[in-house]
Amino acid sequence: MKKLALIALLAATAATPVLAGDVYVVGSVGQSSADINKGRLDGLLTNAGATGLSSSVDKNDIAYKAQVGYQFNPYFAVEGGYIDLGKAKYSASATGGTYKQEGNASGFNIAAVGILPINESFSLFGKLGVIDAKVEGSARGTGGAVNLNGSANATKIKPTYGIGATYNVSKQLGIRVEYELFSKLGDSNKTGEADVSVVSVGIAYKF
């Protein structure tokens, strides 16, 4: 129901021809980075009996998104759509065993966009919104003192923030660069929580 509500709001925004604004779409790809607490995960294994622990994390992955927006005037827009934030991994080895944990996040978002035009070709913007984020995690271990084999998922609405810039190649076509932060995704009791940041480059097209 939450996802349907977000989609309905986006559709209503994009279908408002009585306002003197522009409908636009954005497609972006970039790199995500999850704020994984490696020390906490090491501590959980150590407390469970793992010895001789050596671990590493892979925080980065490819992220992409597809957005639909409506720019009401030169200074304000609303946009939203679907975002895939990629996957983060934790790997460890201990005396007699290996352990792996990974999680991925994706979901539907909506955000208010404040725009600061610099000139006809270049503008800056800031974003404030929410994402209905689904986080899926799994953990497994083989041998050693700790036996792991499980999965969990959680879907919650969490806040998002962003800043960026757009360079307009033409009246319809623009190149967008932005940084976004997705705060405390997941559930502390099920999947754990983590901040995920994304740096992306995209193409914006106005109809």
CB of 181 within 8 A of CB of 195?
A: yes
Cα-Cα end-to-end distance for the chain: 29
46 belongs to a structural domain: yes
18 belongs to a structural domain: no
83 belongs to a structural domain: yes
- Fill in the amino acid letter for 157: I
What does the mean pLDDT of the chain come to?
89
Residue-number span of the structural domain to which 121 is assigned: 2-13+23-206
118 belongs to a structural domain: yes
Is-above-0.85 flag for pTM?
no
Question: Does 78 have pLDDT greater than 80?
Answer: yes
Average pLDDT score over residue span 115-124:
96
Number of domains in the chain: 1
Question: Does 5 have pLDDT greater than 60?
Answer: no
Question: Does 16 have pLDDT greater than 60?
Answer: no
Q: Which residues of 131-144 are buried (b: 16+ CB within 10 A; e: fewer)?
A: bbbbbbbbbebeeb
Domain of 150, CATH number, reads 2.40.160.20
Q: How far is CA 72 from CA 1, 113, 183, in A?
A: 27, 10, 27
200 belongs to a structural domain: yes
Q: In percent, how much of the chain has pLDDT > 70?
A: 89
Model confidence band, residue 141 (pLDDT cutoffs 50, 70, 90): confident
125 belongs to a structural domain: yes
